[in-house]
Structure 1
Amino acid sequence: MEDLLTLHRKQLRDLQSVITQKKKSATKKTRRGVNDDCERLERELKEKQALEIEALENELNPDAAAIEEKEGPSEPVVADSSELETEAKDEDISSKLQETTLEDPTATNHERIQPPTTASSSSSSSKKPNRAKARLARRAAQIEEITAQAQEEAASQPNLRAIEAERMKQLFEENGLIELQIPPDGHCLYSAFAVGLEGAGIPLSDESSSEDGTKLRGYTFTRKAAGEYISSHPDDFAPFLDEGETLEGHVRKVTSTAEWGGHMELLALAKEYGVTVKVVQAQGVGVTSMNEEEGQKADVWLAYHRKGYGLGEHYNALRKK
């Protein structure tokens, strides 16, 4: 049981951290939905933990569980034969006393109508303690204690998002950069790179619209460019593919899905467009560069966040002030 409660405390600590990050990243429009989602997650976890505690208690004490299931949660106790005999004697004494007081003219009205009070009369109406309710109350108290401990521990942990944001702000100021927000939709690397190219005056493609005449989004061009470069330079990229993944399959994910991009795709874009990519991140040296060769057309700056967004890693575009 102690091991299970320790696990539950850890689960609640982790959930509190997730809830804290969700609430901090919520906007005015999404705050209500985020709060509802957080309440649902906490409720589901508590219900799951309650079932686990109940299952373990039943496993540790199967006889009590079987008796309780057989008897029911709140069945009243039927008085035994000795209690019934006591009740009969009390009634007999009461009736004789009433007869006596009726014959005795000196007895008061109150004495004539007041029956004797005995402890046995109240014992017959008592009920067994409800073991199910007691167990539920005990379980609820355990979960509340675990929740309180998890909240306390989560509150004492450092705010990694705030630490990262402060470091990124410092790096932006040092390099004279302005951050441009990109939607966290799976295309963020490609969209941020497209914004960087436009800021540097580099055209994305000779194509300006799709076959039906609608204007294509920036990531459409950069995804296609990254896929074409990787496909035409298989020896440079095949060694870095995941185990069991083919180059054709990876290129298809780059060009046709919302699969997140990474270091390999950034390098392909830098080579394809002939630019140097500079990535600002809170970890490490702060600014890392790709494709630093003479004769590059321009620098494309990107901001890489690890903690600042609820869905995980994220790229934003950067431009010089």
Structure 2
Amino acid sequence: MEEAETAEEALAKQHRKEKKDLQAKIQSMKNAVPKNDKKRRKQLTDDIARLEAELNQKHEEELRQLTNSTVTDKVEEVVNGIETIGLDTEEQNDGKQSRTSKAQKRREKKAAMEKEREARIAEAEVENLQGSRHQESLKLQQKLAERQLQIREIQSDGHCMYRAIDDQLASRGQGMGLKELRAQTANYMRCHTDDFLPFLTNPNTGDMFSADEFEKYCSDVESTAAWGGQLELRALTEALKLPIEVFQADAPLIKIGEEYDKLPVVLVYMRHAYGLGEHYNSVEPLKELSNEDEG
């Protein structure tokens, strides 16, 4: 029992130190970013939340491991105690040394595993900061901030483009729903075949879609989770008679339907947002960085 209490006290002391070190690091990060730099302050808020979440998760895992280790040791003590009944003093001492050795090996193995896990976390953090996803996000945040906008996350399920547009319309009190937007897209394409058919080819033959293939394409647009792209955006622009603007990290702003003199629907196109690749998000007005404790 004394050994378990000592381990708990040591872990609690370690956790207090790590929390104190993190708070010092956070304060240093805050001091390094000017208060009037809204883009960097927004990123700072996200970084702080991530660091705090990672530390809390690490502490919870360490406490769980310590608890499991303590329970295992107690069970082994009971079992070994029963097995040593009737043994002479020398045999009992040998058994006690064996138990101590096994417990020590378990602790050393867990410590090595934890060290390896922390190394993987550190490597992943560096990779994320340098990776294409993070860089894309930074570029988009900068572009959107110039329009006083920020990304509004949309779920990734194949319907993201339509969901993002509906999110924009709903913010104006004009939401239509996913099913209606898909139906209008497909109907417009069917009624204007000549505007879309030349851009659709069979991936196996390279030939332009046949009438049946085009109908199958429109049917998928209407009733499946088929991913939407430039053709569907063009169809929706005409069907809704609304301009659509699409922000991209490494390309100029795409403007569709500029002939319509109305407030544009604004989307964000991301190539590296998820493991599956391309994704559309909506936007919302840029929020001020919440008040922070400068103490």
TM-score (norm. length: structure 2): 0.49
TM-score (norm. length: structure 1): 0.45
